[in-house]
Structure 1
Amino acid sequence: MIPTREEMYAALENRHGAELQKKLSTASVAVCGLGGLGSNIAIALARAGVGKLHIIDFDRVDISNLNRQQYFPEQLGQLKSDALYDTLKRIAPYCDIRSECVKLDEENIPQLLADDDIIVEAFDKAERKAMLVNCVLENMPQKYLVSGSGMAGIAPSNTITTKRITKRFYLCGDGVSDVADGMGLVASRVLICAGHQAHAVIRIIAGEYDIN
């Protein structure tokens, strides 16, 4: 039997405290890209009790995704936005989830992300990352932005960090590693970077801002 909304909120409040859980429950976060970073970030935020999640991707689940992304073999071929929506609803049935299958670009970003408090960049390709980051910084300076860069290979976990680049822009990763350098993306290290991004979001919601 699925717990009631009140029961699930009470359990989260017991873990996080009333003040933080209220902030989490009223926050709205957009996760742009639902691959290795984005699917893990979205699940972490849903489990933390973030009230509104806006998940965006235009791709479909492929067998090559299964080593690090939060999808199941039976979801192969499904739109990632649909597949992850179903998973998130199983985890957090009362979360307000807006799922969109769309390719973000400079033209549609300001409109599509207008209602989100925090924007998470979780794309795979460097040029797509740069496009989203630049577009948000130039056109939506009032938004908080959390981006990821550098999580490939099997380098030490502690080389992945979270840095506050500007007042509202955070960058997570090692800033160096790239798939093109040799070894590709390994589930554990991608998950570490995703955890950094999700935790940066939670700290922003809590009003705890990194000083570096």
Structure 2
Amino acid sequence: METTKVLTKEEIQAALEERHSPEKQKKLSEGRVTIAGLGGLGSNVAYALARIGVGHLHLIDFDVVDITNLNRQQYFTEHIGMYKTDALKSLLQKINPYIDIQTDCIKVTEENLISLFENAGIICEAFDNPEAKAMLVNGILEHFPEKKLVSASGMAGYGSSNTIRTRRLMKNFYLCGDQVTEPTYGHGLMAPRVAICAAHEANMITRLLLGEEEI
């Protein structure tokens, strides 16, 4: 009977350094990213950051995995009914069990926003709900203008991939997506285009961790 090899922290680190260089991997390993919303955007962003060895992830969501989430989110049937924070943490630990992962199973509100994000490094806004997006973005810009914020808007349907872009709207505020496309009947949130937008967010976060701020 075959047994699964348990990789050491040193083995994983060496593999990452081989791909990224020791200098860049050091910055990624020291990186701190808070992801608010663990759906189609957030779960894909978390996967990407875990795979490149970002060392500290803070995952925030209050929801549970539903069957309708499986069309675009990084979960499986066995996760249905689980809190997304628990499900995603377990999956990320299969990629790299040595990442420091903090979870908060809570709904972000205007009342708890300051306490949730006051110690955050880079912040990734990954909500599906437009009102929640606006509340988080406005709250971060008001209370933590010095923090780097990567957000997303416009990724529904199956339109051209090329309309999804990353834009720097303010000194520390980056927006990914086409800024237009909202979910409608027959053009809802679908895995390919949502993943493209999530990859834009993850790549911008990676660039910021490595000291590149210009688009």
Measured against the shorter chain, the TM-score band is: over 0.9
Is 1:30 aligned to residue 34 of structure 2? yes
Matched AA of 1:4: T
2:10 partner amino acid = E
Cα distance, 1:180 vs structure 2? 3.2
Distance 2:189 2:175 in 1: 18
**Distance between the aligned counterparts of 2:213 and 2:149, measured in 1?**
13
Amino acid at match of 1:150: G
Matched, 1:141 2:145: yes
Unaligned runs of 5+ in 2: none
How far apart, CA to CA, are the structure 1 residues paired with 2:124 and 2:197? Answer: 12
SS at match of 2:44: helix
Decide which of 66, 81, 88 is 2:85's aligned counterpart. Answer: 81
2:59 aligns with one of 27, 51, 55: 55
Instruction: Give the aligned residue type for 1:75.
Output: H
Q: Distance in 1 between matches of 2:173 and 2:186?
A: 29
Question: Is 1:106 aligned with 2:110?
Answer: yes
> Out of 169, 173, 180, which is 2:184 matched to?
180
For residues 181 and 126 of structure 1, what CA distance do their matches in structure 2 show? Answer: 17
- Partner-residue secondary structure (3-state), 2:48: helix
Q: What percentage of aligned pairs have identical amino acids? A: 57
Partner-residue secondary structure (3-state), 2:159: coil
- How many residue pairs get matched? 211
Matched, 1:42 2:46: yes
Amino acid at match of 2:49: L
Measure the CA separation in 1 of the matches of 2:154 and 2:27: 30
Structure 1 residue 18 displacement after superposition: 1.3
Give the TM-score normalised by structure 2.
0.96
User: Match of 2:10?
Assistant: 6
* Residues 94-125 of structure 1: per-residue CA shift (max 9 Å, x gap): 00000110000112111111222100000001
TM-score w.r.t. the length of structure 1 is 0.97
Deviates more, 1:124-133 or 1:177-186: 177-186
Unaligned residue ranges in structure 1 (runs of 5+) = none
Deviation, structure 1 residue 208: 1.0
Residues 37 and 191 in structure 1, CA contact (< 8 A), matched pair in contact too: yes
Cα distance, 1:182 vs. partner?
4.8
* Counterpart pick for 1:170 among 157, 174, 184: 174
Q: Which runs of 4+ in 1 moved over 2 A?
A: none
Task: Name the counterpart of 2:129.
Answer: 125
